[in-house]
Structure 1
Amino acid sequence: MSTHAATAAARRGKLTAEREAELYEAVICLLREGGYDSVTMEGVAARTKCGKATLYRQWGTKPRLVTAALDKARCAVFTDIDTGSLVGDLREAARVAASRRERDAELMEAVSQAYIQHPDLRAALRETVIAPEVAALDAMLGRGVERGELAADNPAIGFVAPCFLGMLRIERIFEDRFADAATMRVFVDAVLLPALGVTPRPEPGPEPDEPAEV
């Protein structure tokens, strides 16, 4: 945990978990209703009957509050994936990410324009929301190197996390093309694995039927 995150966590310890959840829910509702610009410290305070000073004391800035709310609204997508093989890890990451795409995409879309326009929000999201998923994908690749599944100097390694997360973010633009788990699976098998020099073993098919006794 970073120094800033640890300090923020210490501040938030003064609120009960229930009260904190109520504040986060208000932020998420405002994001859904009008995007990032509709979220204000005054608006959150009024909706939750909380003092504005409390919000500033706990989170310091609006970007930190919004980022904390987004982080709470989602669960880590990739951090618990460890199937024992790089192929299995990337395919499972594709499956899990696709299953959550609608919920996550809606919230990220609400702050996408602000992400470009506000460096402080961008930095907060990178630290709290994006960095853990990048680290989890990098860990999958690290385990693959340790198992001898791919070369440590493969230049494609550094592009896997950006490409994977980029696919999830751009799917709203190419909705029909990037809409489901099957397409994400093809992306892993046809793009990522060949770039990494990994050839997946064919998955076992159904057992052949036993010949009928005569």
Structure 2
Amino acid sequence: MTPTQATAARRSKISPERAQELYAAVLDELREHGYEALTMEGVAARACCGKSTLYRQWRTKPQLVAAALRAHRRGTLAAVDTGTLAGDLREAARIAAGTSGRDTRLTQALGLAVLSDEELQAALREALVEPELAAFGAMVQRAADRGEIAAGHPALEFLPAQLMGVLRIRPVLEGRYADAAYMERFVDASVLPALGLAPAP
């Protein structure tokens, strides 16, 4: 049994509704106190549960935080398939924009821990980053199969960094979150021209 399967098996012992309550408690603690000050004890107290429940289901703080962040997301890039790469990228941008305000605040709350805590990095990559990278890979592969773009196009390497990065940096540069209109303009003006593609209709 893989670590992911083992985690899913443990999680099945509580109801989905209760899991959402626990995730909400995690995110509230994260927003209020940041990652470093977040504790399993604090989450248990806020969620009115035993600390052993959290350890039994998720084992460690990084795994619990990663699971809460994943459950918090709305929409999935894996479901995107418009028939063209331009359309897929614009739809991916809209999905990303739908969570930019909420997720950006939470990402900022993780602070330096994301860079210094290897266990947290690994948990976030498994729960959040790798599924998105796989979705981008599937979009590109479909486009290559349709003949829209060469599989080795040099700009493809930077797609995830472009779309994920602009979500994080706009609040820093302009004091505003990257909403759907902004993300669509970014794709049309920057991403698609770099790929040699026309904007989606």
* TM-based fold match above 0.5: yes
Distance 1:178 1:194, change over 3 A: farther
Paired residue type of 1:139: A
Alignment partner, residue 142 of structure 2: 143
Flag structure 1 segments of 5+ consecutive residues without an equivalent.
204-214
Alignment partner, residue 192 of structure 2: 193
1:31–1:107: 8 Å Cα contact kept in structure 2? Answer: yes
TM-score after normalising by structure 2: 0.90
2:167–2:178: 8 Å Cα contact kept in structure 1? Answer: no
RMSD: 2.0
Separation (CA, whole Å) in 2 of partners of 1:108 and 1:152: 32
Separation (CA, whole Å) in 2 of partners of 1:16 and 1:144: 40
Paired residue type of 1:80: A
Matched, 1:160 2:159: yes
**Offset of residue 43 of structure 1:** 1.0
Alignment partner, residue 50 of structure 1: 49
Matched, 1:62 2:94: no
Paired residue type of 1:113: L
Aligned pairs (5 A) from 1:68-83: 68-83=67-82
**Offset of residue 176 of structure 1:** 5.2
**Larger deviation, residues 103-112 vs 182-191:** 182-191
Q: SS of 1:183's equivalent?
A: helix
State how many pairs are aligned.
Answer: 201
Relative contact order, higher structure (CA 8 A, sep 6+) = 2
Larger radius of gyration: 1
| Large movers: runs of 4+ above 6 Å | none
Alignment partner, residue 171 of structure 1: 170
TM-score after normalising by structure 1: 0.85
Paired residue type of 1:16: S
1:178–1:184: 8 Å Cα contact kept in structure 2? Answer: no
Separation (CA, whole Å) in 2 of partners of 1:7 and 1:21: 19
Separation (CA, whole Å) in 1 of partners of 2:179 and 2:67: 28
Separation (CA, whole Å) in 1 of partners of 2:72 and 2:180: 22
Separation (CA, whole Å) in 1 of partners of 2:2 and 2:81: 28
Separation (CA, whole Å) in 2 of partners of 1:173 and 1:16: 39
Distance 1:35 1:157, change over 3 A: same
Q: SS of 2:31's equivalent?
A: helix
Q: SS of 1:24's equivalent?
A: helix
Alignment partner, residue 100 of structure 1: 99
Paired residue type of 1:96: I
Q: SS of 2:172's equivalent?
A: coil
2:143–2:149: 8 Å Cα contact kept in structure 1? Answer: yes
Alignment partner, residue 206 of structure 1: none
1:56-115 superposed Cα distances (whole Å, 9 cap, x missing partner)? 121111100111111111134322111111111111222232233112212222113221
Separation (CA, whole Å) in 2 of partners of 1:94 and 1:110: 23
What fraction of aligned residue pairs are identical, expressed as a percent? Answer: 52
1:172-197 superposed Cα distances (whole Å, 9 cap, x missing partner)? 21235763333322321222222222
2:70–2:128: 8 Å Cα contact kept in structure 1? Answer: yes
1:94–1:188: 8 Å Cα contact kept in structure 2? Answer: yes
